[in-house]
Amino acid sequence: MLRRRRFVLAAACLAGVASFLLLQAPCVLGAAPGGAKSTPIIHRARVEGVINPFSARYLERAIRETERQGGAALVLELDTPGGLDSAMRSMIKAMLNSQVPIIVYVSPSGARAASAGMFITLAAHVAAMAPGTNIGAAHPVSLTGGEGTETAAKKVTEDAAATARAIAAQRDRNVAWAEAAVRDSVSITEEEAKEKGVIDIIARDLGNLLEQADGRKVITPPGETILRLKGGQVRDVPMAFVESLLQTLAEPNIAYILLTLGTLGLILELYHPGALFPGVTGAICLLLGFAALGTLPVGWAGVGLLILAVALLLAELHAPGFGAFGTGSLIAFLMGSLLLFVPVTPASPAAPVVGVSPWLVGCMTALFGAVLLLVGQRVWAAQRLAPRTGSEALVGDTAEVVSALSPQGTVRIRGEVWSARSEGESIEAGASVRVDRAEGVVLVVRPIAGEESETQQSQSPSQGR
């Protein structure tokens, strides 16, 4: 009993000493001179092309991952002509409320931060550009003029200018230039941007950027933070497969191809029911095309002309003759393609100037015309076919005389016995005749010469059984 008590007491003492040493270990290690320092982790995201809801969703996810994993900063490499105002504002909101510092780096050389890209760059905690890049915004433009359009353009411009001023003031950047970029479509190089206080750093590559940004003070929602980035480990935050796919589909030329192929696929399915492949493929292409249009600054005049082109095509295929509706359909398709991304009402300064390649428009118009001619030819030929039911369908076929035609009698054709009449001479039973025409339910026939009769009988072995 005494030994057991001594054992328990010794075990308790050892546990207490071990706990004390474990609690003191961090302090001892931290106070040790030359102690190892943790390597900073820098997350990197890449946004290029038109800014759309998929870009915004991607950036928001990258910020969340950086915050969750305790990253020292998030570097956003940017190259964009602009994008949707709603997507841009979602990205700016996420950046201004980010718990981790965000560095926007316009790169590589030749890249730009235009329109929406300018707003996004201004919203960064640290703004940087690579040599040979530029930054700026586009003034609202429209296809038509008029007092109403000018008023609408003024409202859009004032709203965008106020947003640019607010962001620049919060990040301590050049407020006057930010407003001029909206009102006067000002665009400047990286050297001018650095000189005017629009950006903070000109960096030749990512390593140089992290070296220059190291030690800078930035303000985040939790408070002031000093960036410790030198020698940090860079971890990429790639787009997910779905995000990457949708981002690719949102390219204007891809969206235009999807819309065209989708429309032609449904037209081919309509005039060749049961083919399935054109219809299914066309429906998928149309749905993807409409999804892409929702992420681009669409000119609804162009969309209306494309719809008119399809309507005229259908009218052409149902109308007698060939030409007028088809010509109008081709013209409407061509004009709609050219105006598909040209706004009628003023677009936001965040919106990019996008369009479809003229070469692609030419190719798709030629394809549209080829389908029009192909389907139209089939329909035109079908309208001129002889009826394929009743006695009219027997005209030109060969028959065998069952009862002598003098001139009335009967013949067997296609396994059926029909009343028949010969014009002129009588025809004996067993002879072969050809149907010239039908008069109601009576077939008018004529005899076939010997060799021709033998040939016809060899081609129609089922007759006469």
Bond from prior residue into 108 cis (ω within 30 degrees of 0): yes
pLDDT at 37 over 80: no
What per-residue confidence (pLDDT) applies to 339?
A: 83
Look over the chain and give the mean of its residue pLDDT values, rounded to a whole number. 79
pLDDT band at 61 (very low <50, low <70, confident <90, very high): very high
pLDDT, greater one: 215 or 294 = 215
Structure tokens at 24: 């003191």
The least confident of 11-20, 58-67, 131-140, 344-353 is: 11-20
pLDDT, greater one: 366 or 276 = 366
pLDDT band at 52 (very low <50, low <70, confident <90, very high): confident
Radius of gyration over alpha carbons of the chain, in Å?
A: 39
Structure tokens at 289: 């095309």
* E-state strands within 187-285: 187-189, 201-202, 217-220, 223-226, 233-236
Q: What is the pTM of this model?
A: 0.66
What per-residue confidence (pLDDT) applies to 58?
A: 94
Contact 193, 129 (CB under 8 A): yes
Mean pLDDT of 114-131: 93
pLDDT at 11 over 70: no
Contacts of 103 (CB under 8 A, 6+ apart): 73, 74, 75, 76, 124, 125, 126, 127, 128, 209, 213
Strand partners, 386: none
Query: Which residue segments constitute the domains of the chain, with CATH numbers given?
Result: 41-144+157-239 (3.90.226.10), 251-383 (no CATH), 391-459 (2.40.50.140)
What per-residue confidence (pLDDT) applies to 344?
A: 61
Give tens-digit pLDDT for 292-329.
777 777 777 888 888 888 888 777 777 655 567 778 88
What per-residue confidence (pLDDT) applies to 145?
A: 43
The CB density around residue 424, as the number of other CB atoms within 10 Å, is 8
Give tens-digit pLDDT for 84-116.
888 899 999 999 999 999 999 999 999 999 888
pLDDT at 29 over 70: no
d(CA 125, CA 103): 6
Give tens-digit pLDDT for 338-383.
888 776 655 566 566 677 888 888 888 888 888 877 776 766 665 5
